[in-house]
Chain A
Amino acid sequence: MKQLMSFIRKEFYHILRDKPTMLILLGIPIIQIILFGFALTTEVKNTQVAVLVPTTDEATQRIIEKINASTYFDVVAKIHNTEEIQPIFRDAKAKLIMVFEDHFAENLRRTGKAHIQLIADATDPNAATSFTFYASNIISSYQQELLGQTTNPFQITPEVKMLYNPQMISAFNFVPGVLGMIMLLICAMMTSIAIVREKEMGTMEILLVSPMKPIYTILSKITPYFVLSCVNFATIMLLSVYVLRVPIAGSFISLVFVSLLYIFVSLALGLLVSTLTNSQQAAMLISGMGLMIPVMLLSGMIFPIENMPIPLQWFSDIIPAKWYISAVKSIMIQGLGITAVVKEVVILSMMALILVTISLSKFKVRLE
């Protein structure tokens, strides 16, 4: 026990004395959350809007007035046929085009139904969601106005069409995503590097030729990074709740439980990487390229898994982050209880068990 404590203390010395690395490790979550946070809260103000009005009438005019009067939009162009839509987007004259159908007011009067198509430039998907939502709101407020005037039930259906990015990234997607990424970065990459560093420095030779049990070596390597991950988890939670106002809808205890499980899986992964490599660069490459990139690309954080080719979808199943992110979304965003994420918990537990078994059996008590 004394051996273990002394070893863990030594590991903390290593981390605390390497100030640049420690700053990066503690700073990354803050920076990422702030960066993603600002991308998320892009203020939709004075967005340029073009309108396509085939037949001008009092209804279309009223809607355009309302749109123009709001702080969100500026109507910058009026066009009359569909061919003009493309050039407007191409020359970035407007971000949103409202397409009224022919005889808008007449249709509304006669059938009680009329259509407006909202075509948005979704290259900035977060902004596009916001302003189409605002535009739809303005249209329905006009509907309310009409309802107050007459007894006829009028119905204007805004039909939203997202150009360039049909699959929208969910606004709350990135907090679970960042969590999944940071944990993996700290746990897997740093743990594997810390163990491989001992090999590279030659100190592993001395540690092996000592009565020190291998399990102690492993435990003392993972403990500081476990602590660091918990600190990062707390940072991300505080930032997302108090700065980004992403509420924790579900049980905080369940969230912590799932996160601890995921941290455990990541540590086991790092351990596995360390048993496979002999140099810090190799460990960094494997955990960087081999773990980080699949997590970013295949966990559903950036690209929706449903859109991927079937083989990649299968592949995404073996990525722990996918299950973690899905569980965090269910608990944190959707507010579901732990019973809703039983599948994820079981899969993550299985992964942890398998990884720990493999890496412990692979941990070398000799140099070769």
Chain B
Amino acid sequence: MNKPNKDIAIHCDSVSKNYKKVEALKNICFDVKRGEIFGLIGPDGAGKTTLFRILTTLILPDRGMASVDSFDVVKDYKEIRKCVGYMPGRFSLYQDLTVEENLNFFATVFGTTVVENYELIKDIYQQIEPFKTRRAGKLSGGMKQKLALSCALIHKPSVLFLDEPTTGVDPVSRKEFWGMLQKLKTKGITILVSTPYMDEAVLCDRIALIQNGQFLKIDTPKSIVTQYQNKLWAVESDKMHKLLIDLRGNEMTRNCFAFGDKIHISSPLNPTKGDLKTFDKNKIEEIILNNGHKNVIISEIEPSIEDCFMQLSQK
């Protein structure tokens, strides 16, 4: 990097990566500010893990350059490895070692001791400390995540990479986990976190929506939601599966997708011939009732990140 900027923790400039013919990442550009929680939001196979591996120096980008803490991921990979914490998507600790042994081992690997940085992990580690003589393989999903986070934090990294840390974790533990990330943020640690769960996006300072190796948008969650211009309705009826097919079949209500136990319909993306004006609750109701549905409930709703993602990915 030409001019090291202390406020930028992660810098990516047109990074691309191909796996044979598959383009895993296309021209990724973004900056993560120091002390920020930056979320990568996208479905499986979007390229999140590839980006993580490039930034943690595990794989080389085909084109473009990236730096972490002003160190180049290709040239200065040894420096980066000293100062980042990385928690891979899969639980990657030693299952046949106990909680305590895992933590001690990773502390020594990073040339530190548990005592030295205990303050940083105290809140997290205290929750699993009663089980410290238990083998890591025998922990529950949430406890495994806490242990993995403790191990990734034990050397007080300046940047923390968390690849899908909450996948496969129960809702309560997920909530707790995000609470811990907020606490770490106050200690000045930059966090890059990826997740397939859209509802976690609002907990980040800024997010990047990623699909098929491309960033759709980078902004604060709030701003992304306010930029959603179309109207949005949630509908349900007695025959949900048929409802989705019926709605997709109609030119007017084609922009719909299943969202939990409801179906979200947005007004047409490119309104022509005054579509937008005539397209309203009554119109939708008419279409649905014409297809023979009963118990129809339609309500206008505020868009969520997922709605924004769906709209952006259709463009």
Contact = CB atoms under 8 A, between A and B. Distances in A.
Interface of A: 2-3, 6-7, 10, 13-14, 17-18, 201-203, 205-212, 365-368
B111 A209 contact: no
B93 interface: yes
A206 B92 contact: yes
Given A3-B109, A211-B81, A366 B59 contact: yes
A2 B81 contact: no
Given A209-B58, A209-B86, A10 B97 contact: yes
Given A6-B108, A17-B96, A367-B59, 10 more contacts: A10-B97, A13-B101, A14-B94, A202-B91, A209-B56, A209-B84, A211-B78, A366-B58, A367-B53, A367-B58
Contacts of B88: 202, 205-206
Contacts of A368: 59-60
B92 A3 contact: no
B96 A211 contact: no
A5 B84 CA distance: 23
Contacts of B60: 366, 368
A6 B58 contact: no
B92 A203 contact: yes
A227 B257 CA distance: 61
A3 B151 CA distance: 15
Interface string B94-111: 111100010011101111
A3 B95 CA distance: 20
Nearest to B83: A211
A6 B77 CA distance: 24
A13 to B, nearest CB: 6
Contact of A14 (B56, B57, B86, B96): B96
A18 B96 CA distance: 9
Interface in B29-74: 53, 56-60
A206 B53 CA distance: 11
A206 B89 CA distance: 11
Contact of A209 (B81, B96, B104): B81
Interface of B: 53, 56-60, 77-78, 81-82, 84, 86, 88, 90-97, 101, 104-106, 108-111, 151-152
Nearest to B93: A203
Q: Is the interface of A mostly helix, strand, loop or mixed?
A: helix
Contact of B57 (A201, A202, A209): A209
16 contacts: A3-B109, A7-B108, A7-B109, A10-B97, A13-B101, A201-B94, A202-B91, A205-B86, A206-B93, A206-B106, A209-B56, A209-B84, A211-B81, A365-B77, A366-B57, A367-B53
Given A366-B58, A367-B58, A205 B105 contact: no
Nearest to B87: A206
B90 A202 contact: yes
B59 A2 contact: no
Contact of A3 (B81, B84, B111): B111
Nearest to A364: B58
Interface centre among A18, A209, A368, by most chain B C-beta atoms within 10 angstroms, is A209
Nearest to A3: B108
Nearest to B78: A211
B86 A206 contact: yes
B96 A13 contact: yes
Nearest to B53: A367
Nearest to A197: B94
A192 to B, nearest CB: 18
A100 B277 CA distance: 120
Lowest 3 A-B CB distances belong to which pairs? A202-B92, A6-B108, A209-B86
A203 B104 CA distance: 15
Contacts of B106: 206, 210
B164 to A, nearest CB: 13
Nearest to B98: A13
Interface centre among B56, B60, B109, B151, by most chain A C-beta atoms within 10 angstroms, is B109
Given A202-B88, A366-B58, A210 B94 contact: no
Contact of A210 (B53, B81, B91, B101): B81
A208 B81 contact: yes
Contacts of A10: 94, 97, 101, 105
Contacts of B77: 365-366
Contacts of A202: 88, 90-92
B67 to A, nearest CB: 15
A14 to B, nearest CB: 6
Contacts of B58: 205, 208-209, 366-367
Contacts of A17: 96
A207 B88 CA distance: 11
A6 B104 contact: yes
Contacts of A203: 92-94
Given A205-B86, A366-B60, A367-B59, A210 B97 contact: no
B231 to A, nearest CB: 45
Nearest to A205: B88
B171 to A, nearest CB: 25
A206 B90 CA distance: 11
Contacts of A212: 109
A51 B32 CA distance: 96
A241 B36 CA distance: 69
A333 to B, nearest CB: 42
Contacts of A201: 92, 94-95
A2 to B, nearest CB: 6
Contacts of A365: 77
Contacts of A7: 105, 108-109
B81 to A, nearest CB: 5
Interface centre among B93, B96, B101, B110, by most chain A C-beta atoms within 10 angstroms, is B96
Nearest to A2: B108
Contacts of B90: 202
